[in-house]
Amino acid sequence: MLVLGIETSCDETGVALYHSERGLLGHALYSQIAVHSEYGGVVPELASRDHVRKLLPLIRQVLDEAGCQREEIDGIAYTSGPGLVGALMVGACVGRSLAYAWGIPAVGVHHMEGHLLAPMLEEKSPAFPFVALLVSGGHTQLVDVAGIGEYTLLGESLDDAAGEAFDKAAKMLDLDYPGGPHIAHLAEQGDPTRFRFPRPMTDRPGLDFSFSGLKTYTLNTVAEHRGDDVLPDDQTMADIACAFQEAVVDTLSIKCRRALEQTGHKTLVIAGGVSANTRLREKLEQSLAKVGGKVFYARHEFCTDNGAMIAYAGCQRLLAGQNEGLSVNPRPRWPLDELGAIGG
């Protein structure tokens, strides 16, 4: 089965072609970072308008590059939530309309299920059951995954998501949006012993997270070391980035170990934008090796938003016979554990 995947939930337009036997045949991503950068975050209306401009040309480009004809496509998968309602609406309307015009089924995919299954696109892919750490700009969740669509929430952030915390800390250091990769880059020059930031909620039982206190701690540290209208010196900035990243990574890693102990699973999957973080991958690999556990993740470009993960997740649901009606129902809020097992 050949599936066209469409992702438009936030500020990236992603398109991909996934074949159930031949794997990924093509994918392309258009990032709106330049559109939003001067605002320091995503402006929803600008995002929707840009998806309108970019989506159809990107679909044409992916079909051409893969040497595929539209008649070969057996189904369409589009992100139907969670995300920005206007942005979701663009992908859903285009996806549903093309499927209607071409006489093929269409399915709305949960964005976080897309992230969660993205490591399945890799040669070294995980087997069920496993614990998934979903860490993106909008979510920080630990999920017990029994199979596709069989998700039990183990814990989540009570306030900011991990990616959001990276973005806010980056803003304090006058780094560009999205801040995660910039903090990670700056942290490479930092001295990890100079500052020790708190590891929130690790001293009490449970699998929930909280990153807002860490944000305030970062803000206070920056304030202590800055002069009037001038940022701290370069080394101090790098030391702060490093201390912040260590605190987030350590906190995530402690909770992942705990989730594996609690469920008895040996496999951890990390997914979402923050799973691209090299220090997080390193730390989890070290920490899990001690308990005979293994960590899986997608290649960098499939950690952040992309069309391939939506094509893959949609393909599994279309293969199971799922086919949505003609109405388009984007869900800006959509708890992951409301999804059903495929075929169920």
CA–CA separation, 275 and 46 (whole Å): 27
26 makes contact, choosing from Zn ion, ligand KG4, none, with CB < 5 to 8 Å by partner type, with none
| CA distances to 47, 114, 231, 294, 323 from 88, in Å | 10, 14, 38, 34, 18
Instruction: Please answer whether residues 75 and 104 qualify as being in contact, where contact means their C-beta atoms are separated by less than 8 angstroms.
Output: yes
x/- site string to ligand KG4, residues 230 to 269, per CB under 6 A? ----------------------------------------
In whole angstroms, the minimum distance from the beta carbon of 138 to ligand KG4 comes to 5
Helical ranges in the chain per DSSP H: 33-36, 44-66, 85-102, 111-117, 162-172, 179-187, 212-225, 234-263, 278-289, 307-319
| Cβ neighbours for 280, distance < 8 A, ≥ 6 positions apart | 135, 248, 249, 252, 253, 270, 274
DSSP H or E stretch at residue 146: strand 140-147
138 makes contact, choosing from Zn ion, ligand KG4, none, with CB < 5 to 8 Å by partner type, with ligand KG4
Q: Is 166 in the site for ligand KG4 (CB under 6 A)?
A: yes
CA–CA separation, 7 and 276 (whole Å): 19
Q: Is 149 in the site for ligand KG4 (CB under 6 A)?
A: no
Which range in 88-96, 162-170, 199-207, 219-227 contacts ligand KG4 by CB under 6 A?
Answer: 162-170
Amino acid letter, residue 130: F
In whole angstroms, the minimum distance from the beta carbon of 134 to ligand KG4 comes to 9
Which range in 22-30, 297-305, 308-316, 331-339 contacts Zn ion by CB under 5 A?
Answer: 297-305
x/- site string to ligand KG4, residues 279 to 318, per CB under 6 A? -------------------------xx-------------
Closest to ligand KG4 by CB, 88 vs 274, is 274
Closest to Zn ion by CB, 136 vs 322, is 136
CA–CA separation, 249 and 280 (whole Å): 5
Among candidate residues 64, 58, 51, the one with its CA nearest the CA of residue 28: 58
Closest to Zn ion by CB, 164 vs 305, is 305
Q: Is 178 in the site for ligand KG4 (CB under 6 A)?
A: yes
Closest to Zn ion by CB, 167 vs 305, is 305
3-state secondary structure 15-81: EEEEECCCEEEEEEEEECHHHHHHHCCCCHHHHHHHHHHHHHHHHHHHHHHHCCCHHHCCEEEEEEE
x/- site string to ligand KG4, residues 6 to 35, per CB under 6 A? ----x-------------------------
x/- site string to ligand KG4, residues 122 to 141, per CB under 6 A? --------------xxx---
For residues 173, 178, 181 and 182, what is the CA-based torsion angle, rounded to 10 degrees? -30
Whether the ω angle into residue 205 lies within 30 degrees of 0, i.e. cis, is no
Which range in 134-142, 208-216, 251-259, 322-330 contacts Zn ion by CB under 5 A?
Answer: 134-142
Q: Is 305 in the site for Zn ion (CB under 5 A)?
A: yes
Q: Where along the sequence are the contacts to ligand KG4 (CB under 6 A)?
A: 10, 136-138, 163-164, 166-167, 178-181, 184, 272-274, 276-277, 304-305
